[in-house]
Amino acid sequence: MILRPYQREAVDAVYRHLRDHDDNPCVVIPTGGGKTPVMATICRDAVQQWNGRVLVLAHVKELLEQTAGMLSRLAPDLPMGIYSAGLRRRDTGYAVTVAGIQSVWKRACDLDAFDLVIIDEAHMIPPEGDGMYRQFLAEAKVVNPHVRTIGFTATPYRMSSGSICTPDHFLNAVCYEIGIRELIVQGYLCPLRTKAGSEKGDWSSLHIRGGEYVAGEVEAMMDTDRLVRSACAEIIEHTKGRRACLIFASGIQHGLHVQRVLQGDHGVRCGFICGDTPTAERDTTIREFREGRLPYLANVNVLTMGFDAPNVDCIAMLRPTLSPGLYYQMVGRGFRPHPGKADCLVLDFGGNVLRHGPVDAIRITEPGAGDGEAPAKECPDCHAVIAAGYAVCPECGHEFPERQVRQHEAKASNAAILSPQAITNEYPVREVSYSVHTKRDAPPDAPKTMRVQYRIGWSIWRSEWICFEHTGWPRAKAESWWRRRTDQPVPDTAADAVAVASAGNLAEPVAITIKCAAGEKYDQIVGYRFADEPPPDAPFAPESAAEPADDLDLDEEAVPF
């Protein structure tokens, strides 16, 4: 099993965190980015190198089957069992066990000691399910006081409670994260485009229950003849030349209505599945869709998490949602690349992109905070949904009024999948971390750098590399960076710099200025603002508003030393 570079980095980050910290880490890899090879590598190392036992936990039967199947294919040499009442398996004594939390949460002692517990799709644990995980992990710690827990997810947050990584949770910190845009640029994920529907419902009339729109009200609003016929007509128009369109409906009757209109008015084949669809019929429909014999497939609350159909090149969201996780999961069905697939078109009839922001920079509102300003906007001419800071629509050339540009620029999103221009904006810094970084494949005596990571959102981090161990211009830049933050002597090694920084002896910026553009592998940190410096007068922070630092934001491949 050969890992991609970022998958290897994820494995190394997990091991580094387990060595250096006493808490439990979480790995964030986008949908379609391949988290299972990372899990399989950790399982294999734990068993074969350290003679340990691993338990992989999931909370739904379908995810259990998928995870067990992929682990078996990727690591066929690992002895693996399944413990799940739903799958009628209760295997014990294996080096690796894949289990359903509902089946084992009271049986930690019966399963004997585990050294690692891996939680798959950790963001999908419902709040009421926390109790089962907490009880099981507490009892597993009684059996083995040294057991450690690792979470895997694409979206490390919940709508109602924010981040799933907190000091009092069973997952405490994100130890590794790779972004959607990085994987798109590297060719591991498919580029995305998005358009809004021309006919819309009135979201303001919907009531909210448990952090989400009331389902019955959503379906009643979306399932009108006017909206369904308009949406179907636009779907047909925009999918000319596309192969597989996956439709997310607001309810069963709405999905059946969409199916009737597409087949009756437009003469195309459209399947439909929901939770009540018989298993055999569901499997046949999905197989035809994956094989390209069924060009349109509508579903209700079925084909989100874990559904894999790389040929999907159009997503039609005919439902609004307040859940950033559900929004991400719907759009994520189009992430995977496929032969002949240039991009995936997202047709948003539910206002979700405007509500949550571009999928590579979803806006997560902290509990108790206000909604803030929309991070994206819709072009009035072509209905493309683009980053809020752009003066000209990249799809049709529409020029936005100056007042509107100024209104949105401070919240412009770095949505590479939506916007080809470069944007520069200032973001508040919520957390800073420091670590020693060794360039991939570098010889043992190669200079190391200090990696500085800034958290600017719930799960959004931006990094820069400071080259203390180099000479010439990189060293001079590192010295300048250091002197702005402390009066202590400039260190000679990255390890010494990390020690000083981790001890709290560096002034940390309250905001950083970031420049981002489509086609670039990483965002650039182009300025800093410290607590004793006033913010820029205008909402848009020009590059001159802070100390230029483009040359310090070096990615793994850009560090030439």
In a domain, 40, yes or no: yes
98, β-bridge pairs: 56, 82
| Number of separate domains in the chain | 3
pLDDT given at position 194? 84
In a domain, 112, yes or no: yes
Calpha distance 182→28 (Å, rounded): 13
CA 491 to chain centre: 36
Calpha distance 271→289 (Å, rounded): 8
List the structure tokens of 397: 């050339």
Residues 252 and 159 in one domain: no
Residues 349 and 440 in one domain: no
How far CA 76 is from CA of 41, 70, 458, in Å, comes to 12, 10, 37
List the structure tokens of 325: 């996780």
In a domain, 233, yes or no: yes
How far CA 35 is from CA of 11, 55, 70, in Å, comes to 10, 16, 11
In the numeric block, the tokens 């250096």 are attached to 20
In a domain, 308, yes or no: yes
CA 347 to chain centre: 20
Residues 55 and 79 in one domain: yes
pLDDT given at position 180? 84
Which H or E element spans position 163?
strand 162-163
Domain boundary among 178, 213, 244: 178
Q: DSSP characters for 435-497?
A: EEE--TT--TTSPPEEEEEEE-SSS-EEEEEE-TTS-HHHHHHHHHHHHTT-SSPPPSSHHHH
Q: What Rg do the C-alpha atoms of the chain give, in angstroms?
A: 24
Residues 172 and 219 in one domain: no
Residues 222 and 316 in one domain: yes
Residues 174 and 193 in one domain: no
Helices (H), 267-339: 279-290, 324-332
pTM value is: 0.66
In the numeric block, the tokens 């000209």 are attached to 392
In a domain, 407, yes or no: no
Domain boundary among 122, 157, 178: 178
Residues 319 and 261 in one domain: yes
| Closest-CA residue to 64 (of 88, 48, 43) | 88
Residues 88 and 17 in one domain: yes
Residues 230 and 315 in one domain: yes
Which H or E element spans position 189?
none
pLDDT given at position 417? 37
Residues 130 and 228 in one domain: no
- Binned average pLDDT, 10 residues per bin, the chain of 561 residues: 89 93 92 90 92 88 80 88 87 90 87 92 69 87 93 76 76 88 86 81 86 92 94 94 95 96 96 92 94 95 80 94 86 90 92 80 51 56 60 60 40 34 74 86 86 79 89 88 93 94 92 71 81 59 32 37 33
- The four Cα atoms 155, 159, 161, 163 give a dihedral, to 10 degrees, of 20
Residues 117 and 193 in one domain: no
Q: DSSP characters for 133-181?
A: HHHHHHHHHHH-TT-EEEEEES--EETTTEES--TTSS--EEEEE--HH
Range of the domain at 46: 5-178
By the 10 Å C-beta count (0-12 exposed, 13-18 middle, 19+ buried), 391 is classed as middle
In the numeric block, the tokens 């979201």 are attached to 203
For the chain, counts of helices (H) and of strands (E)? 15, 26
In a domain, 420, yes or no: no
Residues 32 and 127 in one domain: yes
Calpha distance 543→79 (Å, rounded): 56
Q: What's the distance, Cα to Cα, between the start and end of the chain in Å?
A: 29
In a domain, 386, yes or no: no
Determine phi and psi for 247, rounding to 5 degrees.
-110, 130
- Biggest CA-to-CA distance, the chain: 76
DSSP 336: S
Count other Cβ atoms within 10 Å, centred on residue 521. 15
Yes or no: say if 363 and 159 are a contact pair by the CB < 8 Å rule.
no
The bridge status of strand 461-466 relative to strand 449-455 is antiparallel
pLDDT given at position 553? 38
If DSSP codes are grouped into helix, strand and coil, which group holds residue 341? coil
Collect all residues with Cβ–Cβ distance below 8 Å to 307 and sequence separation of at least 6.
333
In a domain, 531, yes or no: yes
Q: Output the domain CATH number for residue 38.
A: 3.40.50.300
Determine phi and psi for 373, rounding to 5 degrees.
-95, 150
Domain boundary among 178, 204, 238: 178
pLDDT given at position 458? 59
